[in-house]
């Protein structure tokens, strides 16, 4: 079974430019999460999708960040315009919502390293 994939693995952009990160969750996983780690900080939650609906976007830092999950499959996270403080590693995770189970294991992708110059 393929794991969570993210594209690109690295992105270097200039301040003010736009970048779009993509996440493909594990097939059949309804839950999709975005997290990020900025330099020297802990991994922080950004938002959570259930299928195509945003369930919790309390961690989104500001309106320069836009996440979508059209069709409930892959998701994109767009940063427009990018600022220096957006540099970091962006992780995507997915989980399967199975009724009656006692765990909700989140499977993480390898991350996208974003550098804003």
- Cβ–Cβ < 8 Å for 104, 46: no
**Residue 69 interacting with other proteins (CB under 8 A):** no
- Least Cα distance to 112 among 84, 81, 78, 72 occurs for 78
CB 17 within 8 A of CB 81: yes
The residues in 94-113 that bind other proteins, with binding defined as CB under 8 A, are 95-97, 101-111
The alpha carbon dihedral of 76, 88, 86, 56 has a sign of: positive
Q: Does 11 bind other proteins (CB under 8 A)?
A: no
d(CA 49, CA 32): 5
CA R_g for the chain: 14
Query: How many residues interact with other proteins (rule CB under 8 A)?
Result: 32
For other proteins, the binding residues in 22-61 under the rule CB under 8 A are 30-31, 33, 35, 42-45, 48, 50, 55-56, 58-59
Q: Establish if 82 lies at the interface with other proteins (CB under 8 A).
A: no
Smallest distance from other proteins to CB 81, Å:
26
Pick the closer one to other proteins by CB: 32 or 79: 32
Interface residues toward other proteins, by CB under 8 A: 4, 30-31, 33, 35, 42-45, 48, 50, 55-56, 58-59, 91-93, 95-97, 101-111
């Amino acid at each position: 079974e393929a794991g969570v994939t993210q594209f690109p693995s690295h992105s270097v952009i200039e301040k003010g430019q736009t970048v779009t990160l993509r996440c493909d969750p594990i097939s059949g996983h309804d839950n999709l999460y975005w997290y990020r780690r900025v330099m020297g900080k802990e991994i922080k939650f950004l938002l959570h999708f259930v299928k195509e609906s945003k369930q919790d976007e309390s961690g989104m830092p500001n309106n320069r960040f836009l996440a979508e999950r059209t069709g409930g499959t892959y998701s994109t996270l767009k940063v427009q315009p990018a600022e220096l403080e957006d540099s970091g590693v962006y992780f995507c995770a997915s989980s399967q919502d199975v009724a009656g189970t006692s765990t909700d294991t989140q499977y993480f992708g390898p991350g996208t390293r974003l550098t804003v110059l």
